[in-house]
């Protein structure tokens, strides 16, 4: 009769399965780390770009705008943002990812300040939106607002959207929140042309505001020039 | 908290990898014992065998079925064929009636009572030491019977021998999917055979020693799966069932999703209810691997498929919700944009690797099953159909079978 149970085999198969689980989690970690490395290298590249633009801008002391304007690639910043968001959802290493996210927020602020200066003095057509959302609680309006902003960004490459997690523990972001007096009950919040817009705003409304902002810029530099002369 | 579903998912993945590894280790242990005989073989003795063919409305296939029996490579006077019409309402009786002129064929006509009653009628009239059934939609390979009988000759403790059931021909992709599945079935059955843990003695040409029925009684209704019930009964009584991998029986398979659904609903319902009937066997050392591996594996696979189905539905709803959200917020014209492929976004969670591993062992099972049936290594698209179709529809019959069991509703045969 073949009714003997080979317990040793059950145990061996169990050990093999446990081994496979460890291998799988090792592989998962390995690729996760690769991804974090990739994020780090993108971030470093962007940091160098921003730093170099800043330096270049300072060196040329606003006399020539030719070389400066296009040097910071907003596309890369966007890509990094998307990857970080994905990483936060899918990678286990949350400490690393949240550290990278802080760094990313800082880079965004630096890019914002620099681009604002460049666009003001070099007549570059651009518009800026600072966008504050939250991940701490379920914010369906934030989800919708993000969709609106990313489609606007696709439509207008000159529009730069900087998004910040409200709950991030970073003094620079906290300073921004203080400056614009943003409260966590009013999320999502947008800053467009120094104006605070709270709760959800639809695509049509924002689109017209962005176009308005472009128009303002076309007139602003002339006014500035007159003032200078 | 998303923690509890994750723990369940983890445990279920662990169990399914465990089952696949268990099969694979069994394969590695026994691979040298797997022999595929190509030519004709001879036996020392040719014991007489009765093969009963219960038919209910099988006018399309019965002729070919009987013809295949008549061309078996086995002494004609040693094969007694019983054609049993179980109250057919089509032309089946007219067809089988004509075979009564053959000296080794006996035809019977009875009122419809279900397949097990037809088989029991055959049992009553059988005078041989070996008895088997053959579904009227299946065709035997000419070497199948002699190869099965060689297993009895080799080992006197073997009480029943199951053949390899293969899809006879596949005309559409539903049948192609089943073709791959049946190849996997050949592999699985062989491994269960090595473990002494076979849980179905398939209707197509499983041969029993008559002693099985003398000792344990005749066929029972068995929730419309009498071929499963008898195997459970044999396992409970430690009667050895073996699998003869190179004895081929070709069976016709459902051609449509609906027919497949009904067939599988009956099978799974049979599995659940026979397992409930024989629950005293579960996890009892004296019943061998059947109680500690086969039955738990069946239960686990029902749980896994149901759970995965829930997850898929959840993800689908979630996906649709997000698409609707996009649509409502930014309108149609922004959706068409697709993001470019970036390796970064490929998920590398550990469960992905485990699922891939489990799938690769299933692919191995299908390919090796086919190797046992056809003698060659073949990679075919059927596998792809199998994964696609069974992944999508299997949850429906599984869940319906559980539902029917809870409400005590019996599924019909066809």
The mean predicted confidence, pLDDT, of chain B is 91
Tokens of B175: 């049948």
pLDDT higher for A195 or B291?
A: B291
Rounded average pLDDT over B302-313:
86
Residue A131 included in any domain: yes
pTM, 2 dp: 0.84
Residue-number span of the structural domain to which A84 is assigned: 9-59+69-105
Rounded average pLDDT over B173-192:
94
Domain count along chain B: 1
Residue B98 included in any domain: no
Residue A215 included in any domain: yes
pLDDT tens for B323-337 read 887 777 776 655 445
A217 to A66, A142, A191, A213, B394: CA distances (angstroms): 18, 28, 16, 6, 62
Identify the pLDDT of residue A61.
Answer: 63
Residue B101 included in any domain: no
Residue B172 near chain A (CB below 8 Å): no
Rounded average pLDDT over B264-284:
94
In chain A, positions 147-166, which contact chain B (CB-CB < 8 Å)? Answer: 147-148, 151, 154
Per-residue confidence of chain A (229 residues) as pLDDT tens digits? 445 788 999 999 999 999 999 999 999 889 888 888 888 888 888 788 778 877 877 776 655 666 555 545 566 777 788 788 888 777 765 777 888 888 888 888 888 888 887 777 777 777 888 888 887 777 778 888 888 888 888 788 788 888 888 888 888 888 888 888 887 777 788 888 888 888 888 888 888 888 887 776 665 544 444 444 3
Residue B357 near chain A (CB below 8 Å): yes
Contact yes or no for B51/B80 (Cβ under 8 A): yes
Residue B206 included in any domain: yes
Give the mutation candidate from A4, A17, A36 for the B interface (greatest B CB count, under 10 A): A17
Rounded average pLDDT over B80-97:
94
3-state SS track over B277-329: HCHHHCCCHHHCHHHHHHHHHHHHHHHHHHHHHHHHHHHHHHHHHHHHHHHHH
Q: Are residues A55 and A144 in the same domain?
A: no
Q: Are residues A77 and A174 in the same domain?
A: no
Residue B94 near chain A (CB below 8 Å): no
For residue B240, which residues of chain A lie inside 8 Å, CB to CB? 1-2
pLDDT tens for B118-175 read 999 999 999 999 999 999 999 999 999 999 999 999 999 999 999 999 998 888 989 9
Residue A219 included in any domain: yes
Q: Are residues A92 and A144 in the same domain?
A: no
pLDDT tens for B22-72 read 999 999 999 999 989 888 999 999 999 999 999 999 999 999 999 999 999
User: DSSP code of B332?
Assistant: G
Domain count along chain A: 2
Residue A115 included in any domain: no
Residue B130 included in any domain: no
Count how many residues are written for chain A.
Answer: 229
Question: Does the structure show a pLDDT above 70 at B97?
Answer: yes
Nearest CA in chain A to B286: A3
Contact B25 A86 (CB under 8 A): no
Identify the pLDDT of residue B1.
Answer: 46
Contact yes or no for A187/A132 (Cβ under 8 A): yes
Q: Are residues A204 and A166 in the same domain?
A: yes
Nearest to A144 among B26, B329, B344 (CB): B329
For residue A9, which residues of chain B lie inside 8 Å, CB to CB? 22, 25-26, 29
Give the mutation candidate from A8, A13, A154 for the B interface (greatest B CB count, under 10 A): A13
Identify the pLDDT of residue B236.
Answer: 95
> What CATH number is attached to the domain comprising B25?
3.90.550
Give the mutation candidate from B29, B353, B361 for the A interface (greatest A CB count, under 10 A): B353
Instruction: Tell me the count of A-B CB pairs closer than 8 A.
Output: 91
**Longest Cα–Cα distance in chain B:** 81
Residue A88 included in any domain: yes
Distance CA(B107)–CA(B234), nearest Å, equals 29
For residue B195, which residues of chain A lie inside 8 Å, CB to CB? 2
Residue A64 included in any domain: no
CB burial readout B183-212, b (16+ within 10 A) else e: bbbbbbbbbbbbbbbbbbbbbbbbbbbbeb
Residue-number span of the structural domain to which B199 is assigned: 1-33+137-331+346-414
Contact yes or no for B48/B78 (Cβ under 8 A): yes
Q: Are residues A147 and A227 in the same domain?
A: yes
pLDDT confidence tier of residue B292, bands split at 50, 70 and 90:
very high
Identify the pLDDT of residue B340.
Answer: 58
Identify the pLDDT of residue A35.
Answer: 85
Identify the pLDDT of residue B178.
Answer: 95
pLDDT tens for B359-380 read 999 999 999 999 988 888 888 8
Other C-beta atoms lying within 10 Å of the C-beta of residue B148: 28
Residue A159 included in any domain: yes
Radius of gyration of chain B (CA): 23
CA atoms within 13 A on the CB side of B413: 13
Contact B288 A3 (CB under 8 A): yes
For residue B22, which residues of chain A lie inside 8 Å, CB to CB? 9-10, 13
In chain A, positions 72-131, which contact chain B (CB-CB < 8 Å)? Answer: 83, 86, 90
Distance CA(A213)–CA(A125), nearest Å, equals 9
Classify B56 in phi/psi space as left (phi over 0), alpha (psi -120 to 50) or beta: beta
Give the highest mean pLDDT range of A180-189, A209-218, B188-197, B340-349: B188-197
Identify the pLDDT of residue A68.
Answer: 56
Nearest CA among B354, B379, B35 for reference residue B183: B379
């Amino acid at each position: 009769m073949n009714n003997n149970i080979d317990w040793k085999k059950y145990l061996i198969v169990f050990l093999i399965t446990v081994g496979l689980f460890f291998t799988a989690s090792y592989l998962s970690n390995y690729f996760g780390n690769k991804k974090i490395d990739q994020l780090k290298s993108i971030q470093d590249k962007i940091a160098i770009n921003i730093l170099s633009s800043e330096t270049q801008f300072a060196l040329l002391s606003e006399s020539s705008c030719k070389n400066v304007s296009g040097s910071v690639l907003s596309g890369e910043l966007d890509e990094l943002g998307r990857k970080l968001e994905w990483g936060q959802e899918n990678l286990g290493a949350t400490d690393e990812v949240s550290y990278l996210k802080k760094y990313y927020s800082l880079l965004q602020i630096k890019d914002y300040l620099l681009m604002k200066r460049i666009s003001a003095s070099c007549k570059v057509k651009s518009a800026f939106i600072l966008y504050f959302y939250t991940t701490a609680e379920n914010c369906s309006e934030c989800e919708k607002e993000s969709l609106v902003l990313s489609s606007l960004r696709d439509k207008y490459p000159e529009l730069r959207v900087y998004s910040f997690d409200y709950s991030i523990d970073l003094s620079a972001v906290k300073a921004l929140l203080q400056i614009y007096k943003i409260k966590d009950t009013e999320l999502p919040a947008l800053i467009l042309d120094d104006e605070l817009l709270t709760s959800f705003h639809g695509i049509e409304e924002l689109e017209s505001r962005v176009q308005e902002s472009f128009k303002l810029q076309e007139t602003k530099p002339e006014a500035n020039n007159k003032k200078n002369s | 908290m998303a923690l509890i579903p994750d723990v369940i998912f983890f445990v279920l993945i662990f169990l399914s990898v465990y089952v696949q590894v268990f099969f694979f280790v069994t394969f590695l242990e026994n691979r040298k014992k797997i022999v595929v005989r190509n030519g004709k073989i001879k036996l020392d003795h040719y014991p007489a065998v009765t093969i009963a063919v219960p038919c209910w409305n099988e006018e399309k296939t019965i002729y070919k079925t009987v013809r295949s029996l008549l061309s078996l490579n086995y002494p004609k006077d040693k094969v007694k064929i019983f054609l049993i019409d179980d109250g057919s309402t089509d032309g089946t009786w007219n067809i089988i009636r004509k075979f009564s002129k053959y000296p080794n064929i006996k035809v019977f006509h009875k009122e419809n009572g279900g397949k097990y009653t037809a088989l029991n009628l055959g049992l009553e009239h059988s005078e041989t030491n070996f008895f088997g059934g053959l579904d009227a939609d299946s065709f035997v390979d000419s070497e199948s019977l002699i190869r099965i009988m060689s297993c009895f000759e080799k080992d006197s403790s073997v009480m029943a021998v199951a053949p390899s059931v293969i899809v006879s021909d596949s005309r559409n992709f539903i049948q192609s999917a089943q073709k791959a599945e049946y190849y996997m079935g050949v592999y699985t059955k062989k491994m269960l055979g090595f473990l002494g843990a076979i849980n179905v003695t398939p209707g197509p040409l499983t041969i029993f020693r008559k002693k099985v029925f003398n000792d344990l009684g005749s066929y029972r209704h068995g929730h419309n799966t009498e071929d499963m019930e008898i195997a459970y009964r044999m396992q409970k009584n430690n009667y050895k069932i073996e699998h003869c991998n190179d004895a081929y029986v070709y069976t016709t398979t459902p051609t449509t999703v609906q027919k497949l659904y009904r067939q599988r609903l009956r099978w799974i319902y049979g599995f659940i209810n026979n397992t409930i009937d024989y629950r005293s066997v579960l996890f009892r050392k004296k019943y061998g691997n059947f109680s500690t591996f086969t039955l738990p594996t069946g239960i686990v696979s029902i749980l896994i498929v149901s759970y995965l189905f829930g997850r898929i539905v959840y993800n689908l709803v979630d996906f649709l919700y997000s698409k609707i959200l996009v649509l409502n917020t930014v309108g149609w014209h922004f959706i068409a944009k697709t993001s470019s492929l970036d390796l970064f976004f490929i998920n590398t969670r550990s469960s992905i690797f485990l699922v891939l591993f489990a799938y690769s062992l299933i692919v191995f099972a299908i390919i090796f099953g086919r190797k046992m049936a056809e003698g060659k290594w073949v990679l075919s698209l059927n596998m792809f159909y199998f994964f696609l179709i069974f992944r999508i529809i299997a949850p429906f019959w599984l869940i319906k079978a559980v539902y029917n069991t809870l409400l005590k509703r019996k599924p019909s045969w066809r």
